[in-house]
Amino acid sequence: MKRKLMFFMTFLFIGIGLATAQTSKVTGLVTSEEDGQPVVGASVLVNGTTLGTITDIDGKFTISNVPSSSKTLRVSYVGMLPQEVTIKEGILKIVLHSDAKALDEVVVTALGIKRSEKILGYAASTVKNDDLVAAKSGSVMSGLSGKIAGVNISSSGTAGSSQKVIVRGYSSFSSNQPLYVIDGVPMSNNTSLSNDQGNGVIAASDAIDFGNGANDINPDDVESVTVLKGASATALYGSRAANGVVMITTKRAKQEKLTVSYDGSFMASNVLRVPQEQDKFGQGWGTWNRGENGSWGPALDGRLNEWGSSKLTTPMKKHYSFVKDNLRNFYTTGFEMNNNISVRTGNEKMGLMLSYGNTSSNGVLPNNADKYERNTLSFRGNMKFGKFAADASITYIRKDMTKAAAGQGNAGATMQQELIQHPVDIDYSVMKDFNDERFNGDNYYTWYAQNPYWVLANNKNNYQDDRIYGKLELSYEVIPGLKAVGRLGGDFTNARQKLRTAKLTYADNSYSSIGGKSEEKGTYTERTDNYDQIDATLFLSANYNIGTDITLGGTAGWNLNQRKSSYLKSFLEGLFMEGWYNLQNGTDKPVSTNYSDLRRTIGAFAQVEFGYKNFWFVNLSGRNDWSSTLPIHHNSFFYGGINTSVILTDMFPSLKNNVIDFLK
């Protein structure tokens, strides 16, 4: 009996051992060759079986009960080359390579979620850093110009000026600008303008442009820019994204040793075009007149005659001839320098990056009348520990600008009107020294205009701002395939303007005084602006495979966005003393105005994604907002979108040939 029992127990243990040997557990880590980061959502299948899974937020996977007869795994991810991996003991470390021929590149979509471009049912165009900085421009938007279909980017051309970005045409009589989002957080894109009449402004088009918020971003800090177009693409951001979304993703440290890099550039510029002038008639009004500032006189014949002030001890003489390239030669050669340095280091658990950028520009106007200086200091860090991940960034920007007076000189001389009020036979360049007695206020040749060089040196507009923006993002893998994300971001700007037109009086019995020339009273304006934005988002994101044919994904969450703006402006017309620009230096008291507003939007959003056999995809998204700018009981409105895409060349592989390799 004992022998039978021993035999039975031995047979049982052998059976258990055989059963144990027939299956095993396979674990591994999937990363990207391009940046060394974990690949989230990669498909891992055991060849010859229906066993499979997807990688988690750390790029890790585990497959249990793998038959001992199975020898390889197939690992694939959209936009990367699939890979066959031999099963072996220990943790498999799998590196996927980017498919250079792939037409389904991974892009950043709403909320900063990465998706394959292949599955999207809407347009999403991406520009990488190498293309953004190819022209060595100090502006991200300038780097995008001409690189994305359906996006029109225009600007006045001077450094620091605001840029108009139109995505797929105009759709509103008011604002057509897209929403700008940095690393998943909306940013302010306010345009800073001067608008007081003391600066020569008599119409909105005459306001001085000190730039907009999107111009503050250092292009060397940007990894990529994706433009989302259409309601389906932008529904998760609500009404603010009605004109499209510009998604900006900044650089992060990769798995690398301590690395220091520097990038610099220098550019020179000249004016492209100037107004064309007639070359037949010179100074005068019907007949020649030394005090006229227009070219309405007799035909140019080259004769030698006196010109300028009749009060000069030694009269000036010149030929009555057309001055070629007179207006073009008034401008100088401008330059722009860009310097950027970054320090970065990282490993599998943590990455840190510190960068500093400087952009310095002196434009084409003489007397340093259009200068621009921007300094950017940025810190970005990320870490991962188990199921927990964190990402943080903060950027400080200091900007200083000097611009010439614009408009038509309602209460002060402006450069443009002085340039065009000038005879074609008088050379600008001889008047550069506006302190010379021949060209100063008392003796400038005409009673109807001012020396443009004096205008540029004395009528200036200074702008300065300090800006801080950044975010803190925390994520946690609740269960495999389900991630919870919390994101808090802020954008704060304090701006200051000082605008001035100089006081100018004339000596008794001077040429200007006798001619009845109007004196300049002088003006001075101080203005402070504050723009604050806080954005908080909480959401759950899920991705699952149902068998080998169906993929399901979804996002649901809550968002709060609060924006506050205010300004205080004081304007003084009529200076008491020349050369002192202060609100106390007035013949009368300054006039002050102020304004402030506060708006808050709360939104709930959701998105569902369905995929079948990697060739048919459906996406449904929606957002409901409650806005503080609407009546309390009627402040709710909904935005939704639905799209689908079918990859015909994947649905019917026989369609692929030398002519067609991708049809969506």
Strands 284-285 and 209-212: unpaired
Structure tokens at 157: 């051309």
Predicted pLDDT at 412: 62
Longest dimension (CA), the chain: 142
Long-range contacts of 101-106 (CB under 8 A, 24+ apart): 102/78, 103/661, 103/662, 104/78, 104/79, 105/79, 106/78, 106/79
| Nearest by Cα to 192 from 173, 227, 225, 216 | 216
Classify 286 in phi/psi space as left (phi over 0), alpha (psi -120 to 50) or beta: left
pLDDT of residue 445: 94
Burial pattern 8-30, b for ≥16 Cβ within 10 A else e, equals eeeeeeeeeeeeeeeeeebebbb
CB atoms within 10 A of CB 174: 4
Inter-residue contact 525 to 572 (CB < 8 Å): yes
Q: The pTM is what?
A: 0.79
Which positions ≥6 away from 268 have C-beta within 8 Å? 333, 334, 335
Please tell me the distance from the alpha carbon of residue 420 to that of residue 418, in angstroms, as a whole number.
6
Report how far residue 481's alpha carbon sits from residue 78's, in angstroms, rounded to the nearest whole number: 17
- Where the chain has pLDDT below 70, the residues are 1-22, 35, 78-79, 99-107, 116-117, 134-136, 156-158, 194-206, 232, 406-412
Supply 176's token pair.
């057509």
The candidate with the shortest Cα–Cα distance to 290, out of 264, 267, 265, 311, is 311
- CA–CA dist 2, 14 (Å, integer): 18
Q: Measuring CA to CA, which residue among 392, 494, 466 is closest to residue 184? A: 392
Residue 130 contacts residue 138 (beta carbons within 8 Å): no
Q: How many helices (H) and strands (E) does the chain have?
A: 9, 34
Closest CA to 108 of 233, 217, 235: 233
Alpha helices for 410-550 (secondary structure H): 415-420, 452-458, 511-514
Helix, strand, coil percent values for the chain (each to nearest 5): 15, 45, 40
- The full 3-state SS of 240-264, as one line of letters, equals HHCCCEEEEEECCCCCEEEEEEEEE
Query: Partners of 462 in the beta sheet?
Result: 402, 498
pLDDT of residue 409: 58
Query: Among 301, 305, 308, 306, which Cα is nearest to 322's?
Result: 301
Report the phi/psi class of residue 158: left, alpha or beta, with left for phi > 0 and alpha for psi in -120 to 50.
beta
Token pair for 635: 């402040």
Beta strand extents in 290-438 (DSSP E only): 295-296, 304-307, 316-319, 334-346, 350-362, 371-385, 388-404
**Residue that has been written with the tokens 């970054």 in this structure:** 342
How far apart CA 365 and CA 350 sit, in angstroms, is 48
Query: Mean of the per-residue pLDDT values for the chain?
Result: 85
For residue range 617-635, list pLDDT tens digits in order: 998 989 999 999 999 889 9
CB 305 within 8 A of CB 298: no
Domains in the chain with CATH codes:
20-96 (2.60.40.1120), 117-271+333-414+459-655 (2.40.170)
What is the rounded CA–CA span in Å between residue 630 and residue 354?
42
Tokens of 306: 């006196």
